[in-house]
Structure 1
Amino acid sequence: MRPRKEVTTLLKQSGSWLVRMTDKDGTLMLVLSYHDPVKGIRHLTLESANKRWSLQCPQKEQEKEMQGLR
């Protein structure tokens, strides 16, 4: 278990990342934390449903990031 504050001290270089387990309201969650060169430390929740994994992120943010990949 790694809290968000501890992760910010570990992810110092741009592009560094880690997958961590955290507890939110008694529910265990997997979170992908990464250091974005422009936005700093970012956190995306990993979800499992129907034997598949997905990232939970805000729709508008996801659209902006996808546009940047084109």
Structure 2
Amino acid sequence: MFLYKIEIEMETTSAHLIILAETDEKAFSVVESHVARHYIKSPIITSAAIVEKKRTEPGAGYFIPQQ
């Protein structure tokens, strides 16, 4: 299993998604569903890219500074 930090670009904004998945393909397959959970009307995703990928182990995580 891997911990992924995925950068998502939408028409009017951007976001990061932290997801636990077995493969890159499985990580990308859930991006749209996670984005849709946070909006009444799902935004159009223009791009999604893996920014970081780490093996899971105790203490693994990401620090995301406020922009």
TM-score in same-fold range (> 0.5): no
Relative to its length, the structure with more helix (as a share) is 1
| Rg (Cα) greater in structure | 1
TM-score, length of structure 2 as denominator length: 0.29
**Higher-RCO chain (CA-CA 8 Å, sequence separation at least 6):** 2
